Amino acid sequence: MTAAQSSASTVPLGRRVRVRVPATSANLGPGFDTLGLALNVHDELEVVATESGVRISVTGVGEPGTEHSVPTDETNLVARALLHVFDRVGVVPPGIEITATNSIPHGRGMGSSGAAIVEGVLAAKGLLEGVVDVSDSDVLRYATELEGHPDNVAPAIFGGLTIAWVDETGPRHKQLAVHRGVSLLVAVPEATMSTSLARSLQPTEVPHADAVFNLSRSALLVAALTQSPELLFDATEDRLHQTYRASAMPETSALIGDLRAAGHAAVVSGAGPSVLVLASDPAARLDAVEVVERRADAWHARLLAVDIRGGTVEAVPNDAAA
Ligand SMILES: Nc1ncnc2c1ncn2[C@@H]1O[C@H](COP(=O)(O)OP(=O)(O)O)[C@@H](O)[C@H]1O
Ligand SMILES: N[C@@H](CCOP(=O)(O)O)C(=O)O
């Protein structure tokens, strides 16, 4: 059924879907706005089609009364993404009740905004089942329209390691499996950094030599992550974004300096301020944890794995509602 044909269709009241979406680490050093990894930290939600209005309850990260609480009305990013899909496919949205349980830290460079957007888009896809077909490439397109860059939303949707790019047809992706020898460490600080602020620190043009430098490293990084983890240190050098943003997160730069001096492939996770270490074996990862713990400033070292499943949405029978 096409979007035009569906304008009179509606979602059955009481339809309920369950959504689960992973955190992501984007850029991975040289792959600015291109490379991303899905991580085994997840937000989960249930969404029900109701008669009218938008009602949201949040538990965990972003819950009311906490420092970084998120809105619980239609300005909430998950709700905005859900309503964006209904608008794009030309179906009048029902009322919406969202019950969210969030674990992805906000404003730390672990893809919380991309995950929230994918959550809303996948919830819309599930609610629209049988009304309008929303394909995987539609999910990537609608999510990228809101996020502005595809490198977080692609792994959040598809899992694993993704290469994302944009052509005249819209955002595209290639998913790859990460070599089993690669171990992940994410060092998360208390401080937050807004991605839009970090993006405002980027120049609009870069020296040709720096572009060539990043081309070589990002090509090498795909090989290192999929076949040759011993190349991860060389493959994670970057000249396109990290230095321009360093003054806004000096503790991040200092930690990356310590880790790289000790031989670890450390990079800014997303737009920061978290630090991602791509260790080539579990022992190297534990050594990196010690480097993180030696710093006087407070970091939470999280030993994570690659999420290979990506975002999921499933129908919930009404007699199985939580
Ligand atoms: N689960 C969520 N529900 C609602 N809004 C969210 C959620 N996760 C993130 N956000 C919004 O995204 C903002 C963080 O986005 P951003 O600055 O891009 O950082 P991040 O690196 O975590 O993606 C939060 O302050 C909040 O407004
Ligand atoms: N390529 C983006 C990635 C932002 O990731 P986030 O997890 O910080 O939202 C950028 O570097 O701006």
Using the atom order of ligand 1, give the atom closest to the CA of residue 76.
4
**CB proximity list for 10: less than 8 A, separation 6 or greater:** 91, 92, 94, 131
Q: Phi/psi at 58 (nearest 5 deg)?
A: -125, 130
Say how many domains are in the chain: 2
Separation between Cα atoms, residue 290 and residue 273, nearest integer Å: 19
For residue 124, being part of any structural domain is answered with yes
Inter-CA distances, 318 with 46, 58, 90, 125, 238, Å = 12, 21, 26, 18, 50
For residue 322, being part of any structural domain is answered with no
Using the atom order of ligand 1, give the atom closest to the CA of residue 111.
23
- Annotated ligand binding at 53? The verdict is no
Inter-CA distances, 290 with 12, 96, 273, 301, Å = 54, 46, 19, 9
Using the atom order of ligand 2, give the atom closest to the CA of residue 25.
7
pLDDT at position 278: 98
Determine if ligand 2 sits within 6 Å of the CB of residue 113. Answer: yes
Inter-CA distances, 115 with 6, 212, 310, Å = 27, 31, 10
For residue 103, being part of any structural domain is answered with yes
Separation between Cα atoms, residue 304 and residue 270, nearest integer Å: 16
For residue 14, being part of any structural domain is answered with yes
Residues 300, 311 within the same domain: no
Mean pLDDT, the chain cut into blocks of 10 residues (322 residues total): 51 96 98 98 98 97 94 97 98 97 97 98 98 97 98 98 97 98 96 92 96 98 98 98 94 97 98 97 96 91 98 88 57
Residues 240, 170 within the same domain: no
- Annotated ligand binding at 106? The verdict is yes
Beta-ladder partners of 43: 21
Residues 74, 197 within the same domain: no
Span from the CA of 1 to the centroid of ligand 1 (angstroms): 33
Using the atom order of ligand 2, give the atom closest to the CA of residue 24.
7
- Annotated ligand binding at 112? The verdict is yes
Residues 210, 230 within the same domain: yes
Pocket test for ligand 1, best of 25, 58, 78, 112 (most atoms within 8 A of CB): 112
> Which ligand has the nearest atom to the CA of 270?
2
For residue 321, being part of any structural domain is answered with no
Q: Would you give the DSSP letter of residue 301? A: E
pTM as predicted: 0.95
Q: Which residues line ligand 1 (CB under 6 A)?
A: 43, 62, 68, 70, 76-78, 102, 106-114, 116, 194-195, 270-271
Residues 170, 198 within the same domain: no
Nearest-5° angle of CA 242, CA 235, CA 204? Answer: 35
> Which ligand has the nearest atom to the CA of 25?
2
Residues 211, 140 within the same domain: no
Determine if ligand 2 sits within 6 Å of the CB of residue 154. Answer: no
pLDDT at position 282: 92
pLDDT at position 10: 87
* Residue 254 CB neighbours (<10 A): 14
Nearest alpha carbon, ligand 2 atom 1: 33
- Annotated ligand binding at 105? The verdict is yes
The CATH number for 240's domain is 3.30.70.890
* Structural domain of 284: 183-304
Residues 134, 219 within the same domain: no
Determine if ligand 2 sits within 6 Å of the CB of residue 26. Answer: yes
The CATH number for 151's domain is 3.30.230.10
Closest by Cα among 157, 142, 144, 163 to 26: 163
Residues 25, 113 within the same domain: yes
Using the atom order of ligand 1, give the atom closest to the CA of residue 102.
1
Span from the CA of 45 to the centroid of ligand 2 (angstroms): 23
